[in-house]
Amino acid sequence: MNSLILVILSMVGYLLAYKYYGRFIARRILKITGLQKMPAHELEDGVDYVPTRAHIVFGHHFTTIAGLGPIVGPAIGIIWGWLPAFLWVFLGSIFMGAVHDLSTLVVSARNRGKSIGQMTGEIISPSTRYALQFIMQLLLFIVLAVFAMIVASLFVMYPESVIPVWFQIPVALWLGWQIRRGKNDLVYSILALLMLYGMVLLGVLLPVSLPWDRQTSVVAWCILIFIYVYFASTLPVQKLLQPRDYINSHQLLVAMILLVLGVVVAHPVITAPAINRAAFDPGSDVPDLAPLLFIVIACGAISGFHSLASSGTTVKQLNREEDALPVGYGSMITESFLA
């Protein structure tokens, strides 16, 4: 099958899903009217609760949820054939994942920006809240450790990547300052994007390697990454976290556009089988399709982690309740298209 057909079908499907099904969920099920006062206004403090325009919040939320998961998961899911992976990502995101993201964002917004853990304590019981928050903290520690190890290992393996990655910090601080001054965020974000692309060339010319063995260097980079994470999570959101995610969303969207153009130009034929029949053979080494397909491919279809992002930082930046549709539903189907 030609890959261009899948790209066209998914693009059209996502656009129609957003226009009709997403709006149906927002208006008929969640009853979004625009009259609800957002926590960003009610509790505005200039640190975490900051009313922000929808496209900037979209960039923040999209970058937060679109990590390695939507890329690695579908790549592994091909073991069962491309058709089950495609159908799960496509249909799962439209009818489950995007609805989940939109719903958690709206529910949190209507509860003064409280997190899933806090709302669990009020709705179910305090003990349930403590249990859920313990599990979430444990999982977040594991995720942070794994991601830090991966990034640190990449810095050691590819020292050319150090300057482009770390240069995002001063660029994000500069962009955040310009946006707070009332400058055109689109123009300045494009300038920031061009600066980052320029840093790629500088990184090739000036690779940065730490003067220790591989293991020590990885540990050192992990420490530096955790120091950055601390400051990114404690500084006012509009100074570093928000503009950095906004720039990163531009990078992701540019990469997606280039990938689509590549498929349009080359339109390669999919050589992998639509369905790997070995997955249904009891004597095969291929693991069972159910339930592993739905575990391996989470981000891109539906992921509970997204509720932490929705009710953690995103809801505190939501300017209007209507913005929940492009931010919650729109970000999820965009991530699904990336997958």
Q: pTM of the predicted model, to two decimals?
A: 0.89
Structural domain harbouring 200: 3-338
| The pLDDT value given to residue 98 | 94
Region 245-265: mean pLDDT is 91
**Mean pLDDT value across residues 8-27:** 94
As a whole number, the mean pLDDT across the chain is 89
pLDDT of residue 307: 85
pLDDT tens readout for residues 127-147 = 888 888 898 888 888 888 888
Q: Give counts: helices (H), strands (E), the chain.
A: 18, 0
Look at the chain and report how many structural domains it folds into: 1
Q: What does the alpha-carbon distance between residue 84 and residue 258 come to, in Å, rounded to a whole number? A: 25
User: In this structure, are residues 62 and 335 in contact, taking their beta carbons and an 8 Å threshold?
Assistant: yes
- Helix (H) / strand (E) element for 230: namely helix 214-234
Of all residues in the chain, the percent with pLDDT exceeding 90 is: 46
Confidence check: pLDDT of 20 > 90: yes
Instruction: State residue 21's pLDDT score.
Output: 95
Residue 339 has pLDDT above 80, yes or no: no
Lowest-confidence segment of 13-17, 69-73, 254-258 by average pLDDT: 69-73
Q: What are the tens digits of pLDDT across the range 34-67?
A: 778 899 998 888 888 999 999 999 999 999 888 7
* pLDDT given for residue 160 in this prediction: 93
pLDDT digits (tens, 9 = 90+) for 74-89: 888 888 888 988 999 9
DSSP-assigned letter for residue 278: G
Give the model's pLDDT for residue 164: 92
| Nearest to 64, CA basis, from 140, 116, 138 | 140
Alpha carbons 338 and 186: distance in angstroms, whole number:
22
Specify the pLDDT at position 227. Answer: 93
pLDDT (0 to 100) of residue 67? 74
pLDDT of residue 137: 86
The pLDDT value given to residue 106: 93
pLDDT value of residue 167:
93
- The confidence score (pLDDT) of residue 119 equals 86
- Report how far residue 25's alpha carbon sits from residue 97's, in angstroms, rounded to the nearest whole number: 13
Residue pLDDT, tens place only, 289-307: 778 888 888 888 888 888 8
Kindly tell me if the per-residue pLDDT of 219 is higher than 90.
yes
pLDDT at 316: 92
Report residue 254 as tokens. Answer: 């540019």
Question: What confidence category does residue 93 fall into, taking pLDDT thresholds of 50, 70 and 90?
Answer: very high
With DSSP H G I counted as helix, E B as strand and the rest as coil, what are the percentages for the chain, rounded to 5?
75, 0, 25
If pLDDT is split at 50, 70 and 90, which confidence band does 169 have?
very high
> What integer pLDDT is reported at residue 310 of this predicted model?
87
Q: Which residue, chain included where needed, has tokens 């034929």?
A: 269
